[in-house]
Chain A
Amino acid sequence: MAKKSVWSDNRFWQRSAAWITGFASVLLIWLTFDTSAQISMGTDADIQNGVTKRVPGPTVINYKITYEMNKKRQHEIPVIGGMNAEGTSAFQEKETFFGRDDWSEAEAGELLHLGKLASQTKNCMNCHTLLGNGAYYAPDLTKAWLDPAWGPEGSMQAMTGKETKAEAMAEFLQNPSQYPTHARMMPNLGITAEEAKGLVAFLKHMATIDTNGFPRNFGKIQGAVNGK
Chain B
Amino acid sequence: MANSYLKSESKKLATWYFTVAATLFGAQLLFGLVAAIQYVMPGFLFEILDFSVARMLHINALVVWMVFAMFGSVYWLLPDETGIETVGIGLGKLLFWIFTAAVTVVVLVYIFVQVGPADETSIWFIHEGREYIEAPRWADFGITVVALGFVANLFMTGMKGNRSGIVTVLMADMIAFAGLYLTGMFYTDNISVDQFWWWWVIHLWVEATWEVFVGAIAAYGLITMIGAHRKVVEMWLWIEVSMLFGSGILGMGHHYFWIGTPEYWWEIGALFSALEPLPLVAMFIHVLYDWGKMQGEQDAQGKEISVITNRPAFTWFVLNAFGNFLGAGIWGFFHTLPQVNLYTHGTQFTSAHGHLAFFGAYATILVGMMYLAVQGKNGIKILHNTRSTIFATSMIVGGVVGMTVALTIAGYSDVIISRAQMGATWAGSRNGMETINGYHYICRIPILS
Interface size on A, residues (CB 8 A): 91
A136 to B52, CA, bound (A): 11
Query: Are A137's CB and B51's CB within 8 A?
Result: yes
Query: Are B246's CB and A195's CB within 8 A?
Result: no
Contacts A10-B231, A185-B42, A219-B425 hold; do A123 and B53 have CB atoms under 8 A apart?
yes
Contacts A35-B262, A129-B346, A209-B260 hold; do A220 and B423 have CB atoms under 8 A apart?
yes
A168 within 8 A of B: no
Residues of B within 8 A of A24 (CB): 245-246, 249-250
Contacts A125-B130, A223-B422 hold; do A188 and B47 have CB atoms under 8 A apart?
yes
Residues of A within 8 A of B19 (CB): none
Residues of A within 8 A of B47 (CB): 177, 187-188
Main DSSP-derived SS at the B contact region = helix
Residues of A within 8 A of B190 (CB): 39-41, 55
| Cross-interface CB contact of A21 among B55, B241, B345, B421, cutoff 8 Å | B241
| Cross-interface CB contact of A25 among B198, B234, B249, cutoff 8 Å | B249
Residues of A within 8 A of B122 (CB): 117, 120-121
A156 to B119, CA, bound (A): 28
- Select the stretch in A12-20, A43-51, A82-90, A98-106 that faces chain B: A12-20
Residues of A within 8 A of B210 (CB): none
Query: Are B196's CB and A39's CB within 8 A?
Result: yes
| Cross-interface CB contact of B345 among A40, A137, A214, cutoff 8 Å | A214
| Cross-interface CB contact of B191 among A31, A209, A217, cutoff 8 Å | A209
Query: Are A35's CB and B118's CB within 8 A?
Result: no
Residues of B within 8 A of A206 (CB): 191
Query: Are A126's CB and B56's CB within 8 A?
Result: yes
| Cross-interface CB contact of B123 among A121, A127, A139, A190, cutoff 8 Å | A121
Interface size class on chain B is: 35 or more
**Interface-centre pick from B241, B256, B351 (highest chain A CB count, 10 A):** B241
Closest to A124 in B: B129
Query: Are B261's CB and A35's CB within 8 A?
Result: yes
Residues of A within 8 A of B211 (CB): none
Query: Are A148's CB and B116's CB within 8 A?
Result: no
Question: Shortest CB–CB separation between residue A15 and chain B, in angstroms?
Answer: 9
| Cross-interface CB contact of A121 among B129, B165, B424, cutoff 8 Å | B129
Residues of A within 8 A of B421 (CB): 217, 221, 223-224
Question: Shortest CB–CB separation between residue B163 and chain A, in angstroms?
Answer: 12
B46 within 8 A of A: yes
Query: Are A140's CB and B424's CB within 8 A?
Result: yes
Contacts A10-B231, A121-B116 hold; do A40 and B241 have CB atoms under 8 A apart?
no
Contacts A24-B249, A39-B196, A213-B342 hold; do A16 and B425 have CB atoms under 8 A apart?
no
Query: Are A135's CB and B423's CB within 8 A?
Result: no
Question: Shortest CB–CB separation between residue B115 and chain A, in angstroms?
Answer: 5
B380 within 8 A of A: no
| Cross-interface CB contact of A116 among B127, B189, B249, cutoff 8 Å | B189
B99 within 8 A of A: no
15 more contacts with CB within 8 A, not counting A120-B130, A121-B116, are A16-B238, A20-B246, A109-B189, A116-B194, A117-B120, A121-B122, A123-B127, A131-B195, A142-B346, A190-B117, A209-B260, A211-B260, A212-B266, A217-B421, A224-B421
Q: Which 10 A-B pairs have the closest CB atoms?
A: A120-B129, A214-B258, A132-B346, A118-B118, A13-B238, A217-B423, A215-B424, A149-B426, A126-B52, A24-B249
21 pairs, CB–CB < 8 Å, chain A vs chain B: A10-B231, A13-B239, A21-B245, A31-B264, A35-B196, A133-B255, A136-B414, A139-B424, A140-B346, A147-B425, A150-B426, A177-B46, A187-B50, A211-B258, A212-B257, A213-B342, A215-B424, A218-B425, A219-B425, A221-B422, A223-B422
